[in-house]
Structure 1
Amino acid sequence: MLSYSSYVLTAVAALLVTCHALCKCPGIPGLPGVPGLPGRDGLKGQPHLPGLMGPSGNLMSPGRYGLPWSQGLPGSLDTVLYNALANLQERLSKLEGVLALHGKIKEVGDKILASNGKEVDFASALRSCEEAGGTLATPTNEEENKAILAIVKQYNRYAYLGIKESEASGQFKSINGMPLNYTKWHQHEPNGKGAENCVEMYTDGSWNDKKCNLYRLTICEF
């Protein structure tokens, strides 16, 4: 017959097996089995069983038994929460660029518009926007054009837009290479015929093709 201690260990082992199956986690090594009783046909000790592992780590702390902490969001998080955090991170990134400009700020749709109040040539304006994590403001609809115009009026200065003439004379595209689906050309514009490759916004919100080496207000979008 098994000793009392053997019965206890057998019961504990059975309990651990059940918990281990429910947990479906790797365990820490169990205790070694109890040696068999002396005698010709002494019984062998019960084989050791894997123990239970603590809960896995999360965003705030590692697991109970020192499991390595993995960066990023665990897949078990709710999808809505994951998307909200991702959008917040993107928005904070935009705001960092905006704050770096120390200027006027305007929000329109998914865009944030900002100006540092400086008047520079096109290349310098584009560079300052990109260094802040954005690009030159490029209106894609009437609402965005009005938002840019609001900043133009605040400074009462013409501003460069993120639009340039393509290799084909008289055809203008966004600086990212995309065709323009919205335009607000002033009457009889553009008329530079290849000599005026950049685009400025007047204080009435209309556009004019202009040379790129003139000083115009910098307005960025994020």
Structure 2
Amino acid sequence: PTLAADHYLYRGQCVAMEQLAHVNKWTPTLADGTAKGSYKLVAWRTKLGLVSWRGTVGGKPHAFTQLRSTYRHEADSAIGFQMFNDPAEMGSADAFVASANNVEYAFNWFYVNSTESAYFNSGLNPVRAAGSNPNLPMKAEPAYEWQGFDPATNTANYAPLAAHPRSVNQDYYVSWNNKQAKDFGGADGNYSFGAVHRADLLDRPLKAGLQAGRKFDRGSLTALVEQAGVTDLRGA
């Protein structure tokens, strides 16, 4: 059917998009004589997220949206951060992992105490529909949505803690806004993560030194980090 620009078909029904608008205004001041003016910012929200682009598919107009699992749940991660600040919830590597699992944003977290070290990748990772490809646009149909997706609450079925990248007492860790963990892809639409990452500038010399029996102290380790910071990754 022919739809107005602010309507769309979802699960076989015609649904109105929700308009989100904000007006920015300014007036002249002693410091800035710019003439009085304003502009209006408008975004359109659907049950599958905000409209990012418009185009045609088979000659028919389509709205392309983007949706993240934490949308409209931004404050939920406060639980995890509160646990980080509670010594009772951070007394061991296992306790750290349990606490970090309550942070719903995708972050690489590291932990150390006097006897243990650990790593955990947090995130509210929805379980994808079988056969869906996160690198390609998907139809707004239940067969392609996240499993158990409820558009009214923006909730779905999520990967359990055991499915998250994590480790305890690894030989050593390097961190430089790390790339994804081994055997895990980057976020949807993130094509910049490949086989080479700047963390390699830390990992490669550290690994080589340990294999050669070298002992690192704070000074030599800092020198390694500083050398990595002034090295061109592509050239190396």
Query: Which TM-score bucket, shorter chain as reference?
Result: under 0.3
Greater strand share, structure number: 2
Q: TM-score if structure 1 supplies the norm length?
A: 0.26
Specify the structure having the higher radius of gyration (Cα). 1
Larger helix proportion of the pair: 1
Choose between structure 1 and 2 for higher RCO, CA contacts under 8 A separated by at least 6 residues: 1
